[in-house]
Structure 1
Amino acid sequence: MTIANGADQTPKNPARRAAGGRRTYPGPPPWATPALLRKLWGDRLGLLSDAAREYGDVVRFAMGPKTLYFFNHPDHARHVLADNAANYHKGLGLAEARRRILGDGLLTSEGETWRGQRRVISPAFRRERIAGFTGVVAEAGAQLTQRLEARSGNVVDVAEEMTALTMDVLGRTLLDVDLSPLSFLGSAFEATQEQAMFEMVTLGAVPLWLPLPRHRRFRAAKRQIEDAVRTLVASRERGTGTDGSDLMSVLLRVAEREQDTDARWRGLRDQIITMLLAGHETTASTLSWAWYLLSRHPEAAERLRAEAVAVLGDRTPEYADLTRLPYTTMVIQETMRLYPAVWGLPRVALAADEIGGYPVPAGADIMISPYTLHRHRDFWDEPDQFRPERFASDAPAVAHRYAYIPFGAGPRVCVGSHLGMLEATIIAAMVARRFRFEFAGPTDPVPEAMLSLRIRGGLPVRVRPA
């Protein structure tokens, strides 16, 4: 990508130099705290985007007992996520909130615990194994197109369809189980995510033991999720005829080494819940946003359809087709630029540090946001426009490696990125060769920045034959 002029990116309140040459932080004044907290609750993306426009690439938010340091330059992202990653653990209050949902699984653990979990899980995501999942993805895509055919001419919630599809693929690939009896997991995970966001916005000041309706919903949802995990583990322990290479089998074998019964259960529970949530929601989000963008850009939708028909015809997709669907891949990449499923990467500094000339105290809450980095005017031409051609093989390279990080970066880059791209690309091609979607909502969809970047209230579209 060529670097844009970026004239309108100049902050209105540039940082001043303190004695000794260190910079002092720009940011909203202390009396803005009530407004900041309201925006943190209702419009997290707007809070970060507006701050970047107003103050530039570094912003300090003082919000009562909490201070948040927002860094929005690719150099900052590289420092926090890669160069000095050992100094930055998961943070912003989300660490504890996520841990209440996911336990001490791969997304929440740190240090040696995380490294051990990553070593155990990584073999399940090797490229040669992912290639073998293509048939499962294609079968799920065929079932989806049958459902859409039956609803042709009608309005469907395509976000709901994408969630059902990705949950099905997750179960049949990584876990080798049928998750269809556990359809209630979607609403249970939604309740737990709402609790995580509530705890972030309230800065953890509202005790979980208070008998609030939202707390009761959270506890009920957590029980549902744990009961589902028990059912999955019990069914596998009884034997289901698997070949033992799936992730569930791997986790069970690791758990057998643990002598403590409670610790064995906690380890299994935490990893399986992590896989259930993270393994389907990000891809469902990406596909949902792709269908919305394509419904608003019929020329791109037609180009994608033409490519899918030319490459696939009427046959079942194969793994080799990934390299034969460049425009489809570009659409997915551009969708992830505009609406990255992982919109924020909160961290906490273990020791004092310096980022871009700004002092970072030990214990500071840091935010790196792929959403704002992907729309940074110094690194993207017309950053708010949907232009898949940015990712063409003959287009200029991205101006900075860390200006585009849809899967995160550094040691904790998403282990499932290749599976996510395989699934999104194959499903997009299979659906686009048969159907086009007309957005049927009364207003444009609203991004909802939860643990992933969802479409608030779903995505109603009218199904039409291509």
Structure 2
Amino acid sequence: MSGRRPASPPLRALPGLLRKLAVDRLGMMRDAAALDDAVLVSLGPKKLFVFNRPDYAKHVLADNAANYRKGIGLAESRKMLGDGLLTSEGDLWRRQRSTVQPAFKPARVTTHAQAVAQETVKLRDLLARRGAHGPLDVLQEVTGFTLGVLGRTVLDTGLHAHGGIAHAFEAVQDQAMFDMVTQNTVPTWAPLATQRRFRRSRRELRRTVDELVADRSARLNDTPTADDDAFALMIAAARRHTDPRAGYEQLRDELVTLLLAGHETTASTLGWTLLLLARHPHLRDLVRQEARAVLDHGRAPDAGDLHKLTYTTQVVQEAMRLYPPVWILPRVALQPDEVGPYAVPSGADVLICPYTLHRHPALWERPEQFDPSRFDPARLADRPRYAYIPFGAGPRFCVGSGLGMMEAVFVTALLTRDLDLDTLPGDDRTPEPMMSLRMRGGLPMTVRPLR
């Protein structure tokens, strides 16, 4: 390879970078982005190539995606997720993707609009009822909402009786980040609090998955059709496996991944959207005006309203710019490559960080400011396609992005139309970069119904 070597932080900065890898991963990525658009960070034997330009992201994630497999962080998640759609590679990943993708086609997602709207109304009523007794954690409630939608639309299975799923996934993510920081040097059986919590959560998740599979299998026709939900298609694929035990283990991995990815990212997006609107009441008023005009006479949204709620959609898009649910995309180079003018050796860790890409000052005017008008169609023409990648990009673009956007837009419109959601005095929420960009400490808010 004839490519150049990216810039590197000075040696005196390395101890600080190691500390930030453990306690401030967003700070580490911001520091790297401030140094240059291509940075090489050496952490002992590990070489991290951090690329922060749209064309570099396009090359790694799309143009030469076949040369890269999942990397740091996601690799550690296999302890819980196994070889599900989020972590699998090669032919296995392609089979898994082709199995579930029909359930997420736009026409299929449109048929879920009524279920999403019904769950949104339930969420509004629950917030109004519980909010009458004082502040409540809105993030916890929207997480329950996203699980409810996932169950009704993708799994045809009720998840309301499995409220512990979200807490179990918190432990899974904590373990994955711990393994990443310690580079897998601490065995899972070690008697540490993180490991004990992880082992307990893994048992709970597996028990939940077994119950869900047994229930859904009992109601499943022998021959799936194109109209079946993703869960039915996954079970049918497992039944066709030549090894029944291996087929079931694969089904378990796929379902655990679907449960995590199907609710975590949307819940995160909703939390940040509601927080940002509470911090910008004049923009919240614009959402309310649009919701009252489109969703007239107090009705719930339907499929035809999604494309009419244009400003609300821009608000959600801008929230995902500032706080992308997929905040980092780690890869490992299989063969030597050149990303722009830079040489990347085989085995190198490559990081594409939507969080810093979405705040690049050369791409976004006043990048730290919450400004939904950035996503007015008239302002999109000159923006590079890969400047904005909240759902990832390339072959591994999030299969559930359409359903997630419908949920986020419907909830934002209906809650803003009917409720005032406000943060508590002195409240200062901060992001927690795990597998998604969570909100640290939940989202305590007051709720006031509007007439």
TM-score tier (shorter): over 0.9
Please say which of residues 407-416 and 208-217 is displaced more in the overlay: 208-217
Instruction: Write the distance in 1 (CA, Å) between the matches of 2:86 and 2:99.
Output: 14
1:234-245 matched pairs, under 5 angstroms = 234-239=214-219, 245=228
2:310 to 306, 312, 326: 326
1:97 to 68, 71, 76: 76
- 1:379–1:398 Cα contact (<8 Å) kept: no
Aligned residue for 1:277?
260
The offset of 1:358, in angstroms, is 1.2
Amino acid at match of 2:196: R
**Structure 1: gaps (5+ residues):** 1-19
1:268 maps to 2:251: yes
- 2:220–2:232 Cα contact (<8 Å) kept: no
1:393 maps to 2:373: no
Aligned residue for 2:405?
421
Amino acid at match of 1:289: W
Instruction: Write the distance in 1 (CA, Å) between the matches of 2:261 and 2:63.
Output: 25
Aligned residue for 1:215?
195
Instruction: Write the distance in 1 (CA, Å) between the matches of 2:186 and 2:18.
Output: 15
Same amino acid, percent of matched pairs = 50
The offset of 1:421, in angstroms, is 0.8
Aligned residue for 2:414?
430
- 2:306–2:409 Cα contact (<8 Å) kept: yes
The offset of 1:441, in angstroms, is 5.8
- 1:30–1:63 Cα contact (<8 Å) kept: no
The offset of 1:254, in angstroms, is 1.0
Aligned residue for 1:24?
5
The offset of 1:150, in angstroms, is 1.3
The offset of 1:22, in angstroms, is 4.2
User: Measured at CA, do residues 453 and 61 of structure 1 come closer, stay the same or move farther in structure 2, by a change above 3 Å?
Assistant: same
Aligned residue for 2:138?
158
Aligned residue for 1:134?
113
Aligned residue for 1:296?
279
1:77-127 per-position Cα deviation (integer Å, ceiling 9, x unaligned)? 0010011100011012x2431111211111111111111111111000011
The offset of 1:259, in angstroms, is 3.3
1:49 maps to 2:30: yes
The offset of 1:396, in angstroms, is 4.4
Report the secondary structure of 2:379's partner residue: coil
Aligned residue for 2:98?
119
Aligned residue for 2:58?
78
User: Measured at CA, do residues 104 and 21 of structure 1 come closer, stay the same or move farther in structure 2, by a change above 3 Å?
Assistant: closer
- 2:74–2:176 Cα contact (<8 Å) kept: no
1:224 to 204, 208, 213: 204
1:252-307 per-position Cα deviation (integer Å, ceiling 9, x unaligned)? 11111123232021111011101100001100000100011000100110000110
User: Measured at CA, do residues 389 and 158 of structure 1 come closer, stay the same or move farther in structure 2, by a change above 3 Å?
Assistant: same
Instruction: Write the distance in 2 (CA, Å) between the matches of 1:315 and 1:407.
Output: 30
2:366 to 382, 385, 409: 382
1:233 maps to 2:213: yes
Aligned residue for 1:14?
none
Please say which of residues 268-277 and 243-252 is displaced more in the overlay: 243-252
User: Measured at CA, do residues 121 and 398 of structure 1 come closer, stay the same or move farther in structure 2, by a change above 3 Å?
Assistant: farther
Amino acid at match of 2:268: S
Report the secondary structure of 2:364's partner residue: coil
The offset of 1:211, in angstroms, is 2.5
Return structure 1 stretches of 4+ with deviation > 4 angstroms.
240-244
The offset of 1:212, in angstroms, is 2.0
1:171 maps to 2:151: yes
Instruction: Write the distance in 2 (CA, Å) between the matches of 1:399 and 1:149.
Output: 40
1:393-452 per-position Cα deviation (integer Å, ceiling 9, x unaligned)? 222425211100111111111111111111111111111110121111644111000000
- 1:30–1:62 Cα contact (<8 Å) kept: no
Aligned residue for 1:363?
347
- 1:191–1:218 Cα contact (<8 Å) kept: yes
TM-score, normalised relative to structure 2: 0.95
Amino acid at match of 1:312: L
1:309 maps to 2:288: no
Aligned residue for 1:186?
166
Aligned residue for 1:9?
none
1:209-234 per-position Cα deviation (integer Å, ceiling 9, x unaligned)? 32222112111111110110000011
1:67 to 47, 70, 86: 47
Aligned residue for 1:454?
438
RMSD: 1.7
The offset of 1:40, in angstroms, is 1.0
Instruction: Write the distance in 2 (CA, Å) between the matches of 1:298 and 1:79.
Output: 40
- 2:266–2:408 Cα contact (<8 Å) kept: yes
1:465 maps to 2:445: no
Instruction: Write the distance in 1 (CA, Å) between the matches of 2:333 and 2:53.
Output: 18
The offset of 1:316, in angstroms, is 2.1
Instruction: Write the distance in 2 (CA, Å) between the matches of 1:195 and 1:124.
Output: 31
1:360-379 per-position Cα deviation (integer Å, ceiling 9, x unaligned)? 11000000000100000011
Amino acid at match of 2:158: D
Amino acid at match of 1:378: A
Instruction: Write the distance in 1 (CA, Å) between the matches of 2:183 and 2:313.
Output: 39
Aligned residue for 2:17?
36
Instruction: Write the distance in 2 (CA, Å) between the matches of 1:398 and 1:203.
Output: 41
Please say which of residues 293-302 and 207-216 is displaced more in the overlay: 207-216
Report the secondary structure of 2:191's partner residue: coil
Aligned residue for 1:17?
none
